[in-house]
Amino acid sequence: MSTTAAAPSTSSKTSQLDQLKKFTRVVADTGDFESMREFKPQDATTNPSLIYAATQKKEYEPILDKVIADRKSAGLTGPAQIEDIIDHVLVAFGMEILKIVPGRVSTETDARLSFNTQGSIDKAHQLIALYEKAGISRDRILIKIASTWEGIKAAESLSKEGIHCNLTLLFSLPQAIACAEAKVQLISPFVGRIYDWFKAANKRDYTGAEDPGVQSVTTVYNYYKKFGYKTEVMGASFRNISQIIELAGCDLLTISPDLLAKLAASDEPITRKLDAEASKLSAIERQSLDEKTFRYQLNDDAMATEKTAEGIRKFAADIVKLEKFIAARL
């Protein structure tokens, strides 16, 4: 009888976070630098809510104070001065983040421009110009824009200039298809907010593969891989570890520090759930979308319509908070 012991499972000795990194590019969903240093993500993503929260912390005051001091001599006054300072604050945080992560940082445009194609393009130009003036290559920047028709058209134009975009507040396949057809670099489907809507609407919880947020991202991923789209899929807005584990294998996942900590603390095994080759066998059919079809299908999806609108309102509200905070500091 053989006395040779079975080889121990490597997954039992490896954290879930490290296991996940073998399948998926992990992104930190935070404006907190220390979390990025601790969990060593490849990329980082921010939004107005995260930047506003960061500016309220003592350790980040020097960044804000330096920008205000530097920009006071720019000769601007009133709303133009506030807008100029916010652009510089966003870029200042982005530059600090790029000292920590080896990959890219997402910097968001003003959510109040979500239905303004030219306004979104102009804001992206302003942000990219600030990064490039500081010596940062545009290849390390993703400009975040809401997944409205106008936002997608802005991203399509910017992509032709070599400005990479992250289409955020994405809740439906029509939004994802329009982004892919526009050849945008990356999309951020919001898993947790989809889950929230269905949980409230149907008065029940969801776990594992039955989670509507997980199913939505899986459908988008399969569609992209089956039809050969290059646009990257980055699952976002997670509520629990189960949602993350069910999307192992997605191109990227952007994860908050508290969930990164839970993944780092567990060594339960993770297996790949999404696979590009397997996606080619899915039964999903190709769709063609013009503007009228896009708007109708989005309108026909109550969850996607409500969550897109709510997300824009919330991000816009946090930009206003940041404006008032900076005005008070001035």
State the first-to-last Cα distance of the chain, in angstroms, to the nearest integer: 81
Contact in structure between 136 and 96 (CB atoms under 8 Å): no
Angle ∠(181,284,273) on CA atoms, nearest 5: 95
| DSSP-derived pairing of the beta strands 232-235 and 186-189 | parallel
Contact in structure between 217 and 235 (CB atoms under 8 Å): yes
The active-site residue out of 144, 153, 226, 307 is 144
**pLDDT one-digit tens code per residue, 300-319:** 999 999 999 999 999 999 99
pTM score, two decimals?
0.92
Residue 12 confidence (pLDDT):
52
144 is catalytic: yes
**pLDDT one-digit tens code per residue, 264-284:** 999 999 999 999 999 999 999
Residue 36 has pLDDT above 70, yes or no: yes
Contact in structure between 196 and 239 (CB atoms under 8 Å): yes
Closest CA to 24 of 321, 328, 249: 249
Separation between Cα atoms, residue 278 and residue 281, nearest integer Å: 6
Residue 235 has pLDDT above 60, yes or no: yes
Separation between Cα atoms, residue 291 and residue 279, nearest integer Å: 27
Q: Is 224 left (phi over 0), alpha (psi -120 to 50) or beta?
A: alpha
In the chain the domains, ranked by start, together with CATH numbers, are 12-329 (3.20.20.70)
Per the model's pLDDT, the better-predicted residue between 146 and 9 turns out to be 146
Residue 11 confidence (pLDDT):
44
**Phi and psi for 288 in degrees, rounded to 5?**
-115, 130
Those residues with Cβ within 8 angstroms of residue 58's Cβ, 6 or more apart along the chain or in another chain? none
Residue recorded with tokens 């870029």: 91
Closest CA to 312 of 184, 171, 164: 171
Residue 157 confidence (pLDDT):
98
Residue 129 has pLDDT above 90, yes or no: yes
Per the model's pLDDT, the better-predicted residue between 45 and 127 turns out to be 127
Closest CA to 185 of 216, 252, 144, 231: 231
Q: What is the DSSP letter of 9?
A: P
Q: What is the DSSP letter of 7?
A: P
SS3 258: helix
Residue 137 has pLDDT above 80, yes or no: yes
Closest CA to 143 of 63, 45, 241: 45
Residue 215 has pLDDT above 60, yes or no: yes
Region 62-85: what's the mean pLDDT? 93
Those residues with Cβ within 8 angstroms of residue 7's Cβ, 6 or more apart along the chain or in another chain? none
Contact in structure between 142 and 106 (CB atoms under 8 Å): yes
Contact in structure between 88 and 70 (CB atoms under 8 Å): yes
Segment (H or E) for 328: helix 302-329
